Every structure is written in C-alpha cells, then in structure tokens.
Structure 1
Amino acid sequence: MCKLMVLDDDPIQHLIFRRMLNRYKLAHETFYSYSGYDVLSFLSAHKKDTSELPEVIFMDINMPGLNGWAFLDRFKDLYPQLNKLIEIHIVSSSINPSEIKRTDMYDFVKSYIVKPITSERLEQILEPH
C-alpha cells in the first residue's frame, strides 16, 4: 500500500476516491486537497522528508485558481528537488485529444484517465506501490 494525494476541486471526486480506497484497501494514507497551491506548498515543505511525500498524485486539470497545467509546470520545477519519485495521474472529464497529448510534456505524468475512474484502474495503478 502507498501514500497518495488527490487534487480535485470537486468534493464528489474526493468522495469517490475515498470510498474506493476504503473499500479495496488500496492506500496506506491519502491526503485530499482542493488547491494546487496547497499541494505545492506541502511538497515543497517536505521535499527532503520522503516519509511525508506521496508515491502517487491523482489530479484534475480544470480547477479554479491554479489549474492543472499551471500546477504541472510548477511541479516540474520542484520535482528535481524532491527526494522521492512521484507519479502523477490525470483524472479529468475532458476528452480533448490536444489536452491528452499535452501530458506527454511531463515525464512524471504516467496516465490520463477520463472520469470517472474505475476501481479496476485505480487498483492497476496502485498495486505496484
């Protein structure tokens, strides 16, 4: 089991993740956030403490404030300072091919999942951790 983060501005998505993770016991610890700024602050504050950092981040793209693309750009700058490899998986309602292709710019983005995420897909991503 792993430590993970869910970054999404929709409380329903938090509930969906919480229920699946609890039902299938897929994560050791989960941090939920509505704000990309808060996640970046947390990661920056704990960049040397690998026990606090997640193995996986699930995140939306279309969010108010700091949207997913801006988050990924800032994470890209922070990533080399982290003492842990972190996978990001995009979970978005957008099926726009250019958005899906755009994720190729980020080596740490491992997949683009169109909402809703299924328990099978969640298990497939988290099982290796």
Structure 2
Amino acid sequence: MSNNNRTVLLIDDNIVDLKINSKIIKISNLFDEIITCLSGEEALAYLKKTLNDGGKLPDFILLDIQMPDMDGFEFLDLYKNLPNRLTDHCLIAMLSSTLDFGDIKRAEASLHVIKLLKKPLILKELEELLKKYF
C-alpha cells in the first residue's frame, strides 16, 4: 500500500511505547512522516503551530488514552474545537494498554475516533484499519 505522502502523529507519554509504535509504523511503510509528541499539550501546540504556519497536517493520529495532565479524552475535547480543515481530514485511533469497557464506550462515542487499538500496535491491525479508511 503506498503512503501517498501521509503523515501520522503519535501521542504517548511513554517514550518506550513511542519508539515501539514508531518502528512498527516505519516497517509498515504506510506513512511518509512520523511525528511524535509526549503529551496531549505538546500535540495541541504542534497542531496549532502547523495550522498557523500552513504546514503539512497529519492524516492520522494515534492517541494514547492514559496520560498524566491531559488524557486522550481531554485531548479530544480540545481537538474538536480546532479548524475543520484539520478535524474533517484527520482520522484518530486511540491506543490503550488496558481495554477498559468504559474507555471503549467513550472512544466509540467520539465522532473523531475510528477505533480503539490495544498497545502495542499490531501491524496487521493497523494496515487493515488504514486500508478501510484511506
């Protein structure tokens, strides 16, 4: 599957998970560029800066649920207020190491989330998900 110059934004407070998931994404060859942020705040700052600079916005966001300061759901609450040229074009999958039923329900209820994936990423699962949406 060609990546058509796609960009993915990984948001996770765990540096090991970021490295593992970046490697899996790199191996998949599904994305041309991988951007990593260690917090929801850092990701929102990156997105706002990119929107203001007219830079390349991500096509896909992998968002960890459990993070200190701002969890994945709090990120989504702020994300939905960003301009439509981002929110209409960018897909989000949430990542969790525990598949808590409450988290699953909340993720499914979000308009912006296409799926809740279990950590660590499974290449085949990611490929199937992206095939379905891209």
* TM score, norm. by length of structure 2: 0.84
Determine the C-alpha separation between the residues in 1 that align with 2:110 and 2:73.
10
Q: In the comparison of the two structures, how many residue pairs are matched?
A: 127
Moved more, 23-32 or 44-53: 44-53
Q: Could you give the per-residue CA deviations for residues 72-128 of structure 1, whole angstroms, max 9, x where no partner exists?
A: 1111122xx141311110010122111100113321100001222201012223345
Structure having greater relative contact order (Cα 8 Å, sep ≥ 6):
1
Moved more, 56-65 or 14-23: 14-23
Q: CA RMSD in A?
A: 1.8
User: How far off is 1:51 after superposition?
Assistant: 4.9
User: How far off is 1:63 after superposition?
Assistant: 0.4
Unaligned residue ranges in structure 1 (runs of 5+): none
SS at match of 1:83: helix
* TM score, norm. by length of structure 1: 0.87
Tell me, yes or no, if structure 1 residue 95 matches structure 2 residue 79. Answer: no
Q: Could you give the per-residue CA deviations for residues 9-57 of structure 1, whole angstroms, max 9, x where no partner exists?
A: 1112112122212223121001011011111112122236665100100
The 4+ residue runs of structure 1 with deviation greater than 3 A are: 48-51, 126-129
What's the counterpart of residue 83 of structure 1? 85
What's the counterpart of residue 69 of structure 2? 65
What's the counterpart of residue 41 of structure 2? 37
